[in-house]
Structure 1
Amino acid sequence: MVLQDLGKRINAAVTDLTRAPTMSEKAFDGMIKEICNALMEADVNIRLVGTLRKAIKSKVKFGELAPHANKRRIIQQAVFEALVDIVNPHEKAWQPKKAKSNVIMFVGLQGAGKTTTCTKLAIYYKARGFKVCLVCADTFRAGAFDQLKQNATKAGIPYYGSLTQTNPVTVASDGVAKFKKERFEIIIVDTSGRHQQENALFAEMVEIQAAVQPQQTVMVLDASIGQAAEAQSRAFKETADFGAIIITKTDGAAAGGGAISAVAATHTPIIFIGTGEHQSDFESFKPESFVKRLLGMGDMSALMEKIQMNNGDQKPTMKNLAEGKFSVRDMRDQIANVSKMGPLSKLAGMMPGGMGGLMQGMDDEEGSMKMKRMIYICDSMTEKELDSDGKIFTEQPARMTRVARGSGTSVREVEELLSQQQMMAGMAKKMKGMGAAGQKGAPGALGAGGRGQQAQMAAMQKKLASMGGAGGGGMPDMGSLMKMMGGGGGGGGMPDMSSLMNMMGGGGAGGAGAGRGGRR
């Protein structure tokens, strides 16, 4: 993955120095040299690397450190701050306003992934309550409108484009006017990919910008662009004066540092990164969080945001849990929610320290297949069976045989799923009524999915951030999570759903912690 090797090398250099029995200035200089070499090999601009080198040395004056000073912590903090400074443009990113038309125009090179990214951004804002739409002003590339149409239809987002109108300025202007009239809050305009030397396309970009008057112009940069990133981003900045950058294809094998160099070259904030081809492979970018993940420190806020975005409608399950129940259908819903979060290896970078390392070695394909088989089992049940407490299967074992045959699985797999469901039902029974503890009116707020739930999520994120990745009561049991997905020699068994539930709910091991937190 882009920058993954860079992160490992930087982390290894810092770790080797800080774990040494004695730390000398010569070893410190060696660490800086290794970090700089790693950055240059990742296509980070050489001037930026020089700036970083000076920043670290100025923060850590090795010869002036007091004998009792915690050299390890000082060095780690200096490296962290210097790396954050590279990706931090010190410019506040623009934010759309509710109840107003916010036009966002996309620009970038051919093949950077603009059309896909337009859809991902639309989905991001739609999930946050904005009325969102898409306009295809790319009349240059064959199939551009069809691609946007397919993406938008799949995501349930209104779109505008034309198969007959060849003037992109007219298409963009008509589309924006139409959606403004219909009071859409986020209007995203996709434009033709272009190259620095294509003056006609650059002129067209300026015309579109003048016609639609965007509140925000976003440049999309391919993470594999390399050293050309600075020159290209400067050319676009001088022409379109974009106010934000989105880096795509960070799941590839390229170095990726060139795209980050564009931030320093144009003093423009990176606002999102694309981490894969799927519509959910899209993350908001925060310099501190990014560097934490780069250094293996984890990024709990990103993990909690991902959990929150993929949690779906939790009201039925929350209602059941408040009553001390956990049906087979609740079990299925939780499995589906976890599967939406993507491959576990992608979550690894968000996990602090050793837990992320445990997850990175997992077989995503095997884990994904196990989740799918669990869904198949549940989908082969009748409505009565899904809404039951699971005991109907022990009372009538023939039902398990029927479900196994219908789902193409084994009776053993059905038994294991039901065993996990029974364990969760037992936990739910113990948790009954505990959700209200410490928060007056919590059950009602949770049931409504309103501010109470948002407040709880914010409090949970704050708690996790304060833990500093130290794996406390708010963390899932990653050993069990690894084992359940087959990464720990679990054989063909079913996932440990108690760990999954804790992960989805943000609670600690043993149900009661989650209940006291009020999340469930």
Structure 2
Amino acid sequence: MALADLGRKITSALKSLSKATIINEEVLKAMLKDISTALLEADVNIKLVKQLRDNVSSDIKLDGMSLGLNKRKMIQQAVFRELTKLLEPGVRVWTPSKGQNNVIMCVGLQGSGKTTTSTKLAYYYRMKGWKTCLVCADTFRAGAFDQLKQNATKARIPFYGSYTEMDPVVIATEGVDKFKTENFEIIIVDTSGRHKQEDSLSEEMLQLSKALQPDNVVYVMDASIGQACESQAKAFKDKVDVASVIITKLDGHAKGGGALSAVAATGSPIIFIGTGEHIDDFEPFKTKPFISKLLGMGDMEGLVNVVKEFGKENKEAVIDRIQHGQFTLRDMHEQFQTLRKLGSYRQLLGMIPGFGVDFLSKEDEETWSARVKKMMVIMDSMNNHELDNYEGHKLFHKQPGRIQRVARGSGTDIKDVEDLLTKYNKFSKMVKNIGGLNGFFNGSFSSKHMNQNKVIKLTRQIAKIMPRRSLKQIGGMAGLQRLMRQFEQEVAKQLKGKSSINNM
């Protein structure tokens, strides 16, 4: 069963509580049976499933509950808590240090997607502003260096390897030393693999580990092997000090649940998951947000962090104009650029409650990505006067020759340019109608309370420009209002935490 299907089945089981007239032991048992069946179908170990079922049953004593308690909510919270425990090894995750050399050594069996994952990891950190590079120390597999070279070139990441040197330790040492002298912050070493665990592979991993003294040894494994991940991860951990795990090929795989829960049992935290073939089909793994998104509950904390990153990525001049209710075509172009840096659209949508991880299919995302790229190409064909005009929509419609010129220059149709201008006009009106971001918060972004009038106004504006399918998915206008309240609460929570730290 694919992870998205698992999420739907568990969500359906939890929703059965809302349909029940009375919450009793019979209803609770039926719900737990449905959840257990879904987990078993996703290849989760039967002992772990039984443990989850027993823990929820022991936590929830319906007979002894006070009348005023919300039984449905308490059961849902207990299930969420136990699902989190299922995937949480309770080990602190390694994090790189900014401004220093961080050597990451990727190990794993052949065919697990190690080389592709190494590139994805380097690309992820590069997009976050780190100086990253790749070293190919795989001399066992024919074509390994060519593959890494091709991947790295496409991702615009510096790389090192050799066609003549056959000793992986020599190549890895030379590559790491070279990039250290050039002050690279993230140095990722892709190592050899085998079709199965052999003495020769173990010896090679041990020699590389001793020579490089890596800051983090990452075990890359294929989700398709399911519960077998546990024995594999432990075997590698016995040979080299595996500190982290990346699970690949989680895009709709039947054994994904088994792989995730099995790895958690090894005590090595999962740091990233690969969800497809594209370079940005790669996301950090955090247990609670992952479970939350799996169940269609979103990830409000992650969404707030994305908004913060969005603000960091934007230039001060752009932020200043938007704060004063001004929005140009150049600003729109820069917002698209920033969004592309923040990750895939599917990941961003998965953070919004009600959408779920599979709301946008891979095909839909590729279509949307191509559409955004086309709009950016159209804007690239505009001159400075058109890009910086605060009334860009009016300028083009007063002088239709501009539309024809931009269409020719960008190799698109006149209709494509007109569609872009319509979208720009809607966004521009929204920025103007809410009076910019000034006043959205009472005082500044660091204040504790949001301006409710602005929140209501913004909610209405968002509802107008949202696709009908998306608005319906989150429960219409009422659902959007709930989402805005959740966002407000998460902002307030984070600001309160920040305030507490500052007062220490």
TM-score by length of 2: 0.81
Correspondence 1:163 to 2:166: no
Q: 1:482 aligns with which of 459, 467, 471?
A: 467
Which one is further off, 239-248 or 399-408? 399-408
Q: Is the 8 A contact 2:297 2:352 kept in 1?
A: yes
Report the CA distance between 1:428 and its aligned residue.
4.6
Residue 417 of structure 1: aligned partner: 420
> Structure 1 residues 375 and 483 mapped into 2: Cα distance closer, same or farther (>3 Å)?
farther
Q: Is the 8 A contact 1:321 1:432 kept in 2?
A: no
Report the CA distance between 1:394 and its aligned residue.
2.4
> Structure 1 residues 410 and 143 mapped into 2: Cα distance closer, same or farther (>3 Å)?
same
| 3-state SS of 1:254 partner | coil
Q: Distance in 2 between matches of 1:47 and 1:379?
A: 58
1:387 partner letter: D
> Structure 1 residues 367 and 27 mapped into 2: Cα distance closer, same or farther (>3 Å)?
same
2:401 partner letter: A
Residue 402 of structure 2: aligned partner: 399
Unaligned runs of at least 5 residues, structure 2: 451-455, 474-479, 489-504
Q: Distance in 1 between matches of 2:457 and 2:193?
A: 47
Q: Distance in 2 between matches of 1:104 and 1:343?
A: 24
> Structure 1 residues 197 and 341 mapped into 2: Cα distance closer, same or farther (>3 Å)?
closer
Residue 247 of structure 1: aligned partner: 247
RMSD of equivalent CA atoms: 3.7
1:168 partner letter: P
Q: Distance in 2 between matches of 1:373 and 1:102?
A: 37
Residue 287 of structure 1: aligned partner: 287
Residue 148 of structure 1: aligned partner: 148
Correspondence 1:49 to 2:52: no
Report the CA distance between 1:275 and its aligned residue.
2.4
Q: Distance in 2 between matches of 1:438 and 1:193?
A: 54
Unaligned runs of at least 5 residues, structure 1: 443-455, 465-470, 489-498, 508-520
Q: Distance in 2 between matches of 1:112 and 1:280?
A: 18
Q: Is the 8 A contact 2:430 2:458 kept in 1?
A: no
> Structure 1 residues 307 and 223 mapped into 2: Cα distance closer, same or farther (>3 Å)?
farther
Residue 296 of structure 1: aligned partner: 296
Q: Distance in 1 between matches of 2:357 and 2:149?
A: 40
Q: Distance in 1 between matches of 2:109 and 2:461?
A: 41
Q: Distance in 1 between matches of 2:306 and 2:127?
A: 12
Report the CA distance between 1:99 and its aligned residue.
3.6
Residue 502 of structure 2: aligned partner: none
Q: What does residue range 196-211 of structure 1 map to in structure 2 within 5 Å? A: 196-211=196-211
Residue 86 of structure 1: aligned partner: 86
2:353 partner letter: P
Note the alpha carbon deviations across 1:452-496, whole angstroms, 9 max, x for none.
xxxx5xx79x999xxxxxx997899467433499999xxxxxxxx
Correspondence 1:71 to 2:71: yes
Q: What does residue range 129-140 of structure 1 map to in structure 2 within 5 Å? A: 129-140=129-140
> Structure 1 residues 133 and 429 mapped into 2: Cα distance closer, same or farther (>3 Å)?
same
Residue 227 of structure 2: aligned partner: 227
| 3-state SS of 1:169 partner | helix
2:321 partner letter: N
2:422 partner letter: S
Residue 318 of structure 2: aligned partner: 317
> Structure 1 residues 479 and 274 mapped into 2: Cα distance closer, same or farther (>3 Å)?
farther
Note the alpha carbon deviations across 1:373-415, whole angstroms, 9 max, x for none.
4334323433433333423322212222343455455544433
> Structure 1 residues 33 and 423 mapped into 2: Cα distance closer, same or farther (>3 Å)?
closer
1:414 partner letter: V
Q: Distance in 2 between matches of 1:474 and 1:285?
A: 30
Which one is further off, 75-84 or 224-233? 224-233
Q: Is the 8 A contact 2:434 2:458 kept in 1?
A: no
Identity of aligned residues (%): 48
> Structure 1 residues 95 and 38 mapped into 2: Cα distance closer, same or farther (>3 Å)?
same
2:375 partner letter: M
| 3-state SS of 2:252 partner | coil
Q: Distance in 1 between matches of 2:306 and 2:24?
A: 42
Report the CA distance between 1:149 and its aligned residue.
2.1
Report the CA distance between 1:202 and its aligned residue.
1.6
TM-score by length of 1: 0.79
Q: Is the 8 A contact 2:294 2:357 kept in 1?
A: no
2:335 partner letter: Q
Q: Distance in 1 between matches of 2:98 and 2:377?
A: 41
Q: Is the 8 A contact 1:100 1:185 kept in 2?
A: yes
Q: Is the 8 A contact 1:234 1:265 kept in 2?
A: no
Q: Distance in 2 between matches of 1:399 and 1:103?
A: 52
Report the CA distance between 1:51 and its aligned residue.
1.6
Correspondence 1:350 to 2:351: yes
> Structure 1 residues 286 and 393 mapped into 2: Cα distance closer, same or farther (>3 Å)?
same
Note the alpha carbon deviations across 1:68-101, whole angstroms, 9 max, x for none.
4311011101100000001111111122223433
Note the alpha carbon deviations across 1:233-284, whole angstroms, 9 max, x for none.
1211212230111112222333302221333331111111122222222221
> Structure 1 residues 135 and 421 mapped into 2: Cα distance closer, same or farther (>3 Å)?
same
Residue 172 of structure 2: aligned partner: 172
Note the alpha carbon deviations across 1:125-153, whole angstroms, 9 max, x for none.
33444333221111111222122223323
| 3-state SS of 2:438 partner | helix
Q: Is the 8 A contact 2:324 2:438 kept in 1?
A: no
Report the CA distance between 1:307 and its aligned residue.
5.9
1:481 partner letter: M
> Structure 1 residues 237 and 476 mapped into 2: Cα distance closer, same or farther (>3 Å)?
farther
Note the alpha carbon deviations across 1:396-442, whole angstroms, 9 max, x for none.
122223434554555444334323434444455567786388698x7
Report the CA distance between 1:57 and its aligned residue.
1.3
Residue 388 of structure 1: aligned partner: 389
Residue 501 of structure 2: aligned partner: none
Q: Is the 8 A contact 1:229 1:261 kept in 2?
A: no
Q: Distance in 1 between matches of 2:57 and 2:166?
A: 56
> Structure 1 residues 129 and 73 mapped into 2: Cα distance closer, same or farther (>3 Å)?
same
Q: Distance in 1 between matches of 2:57 and 2:104?
A: 41
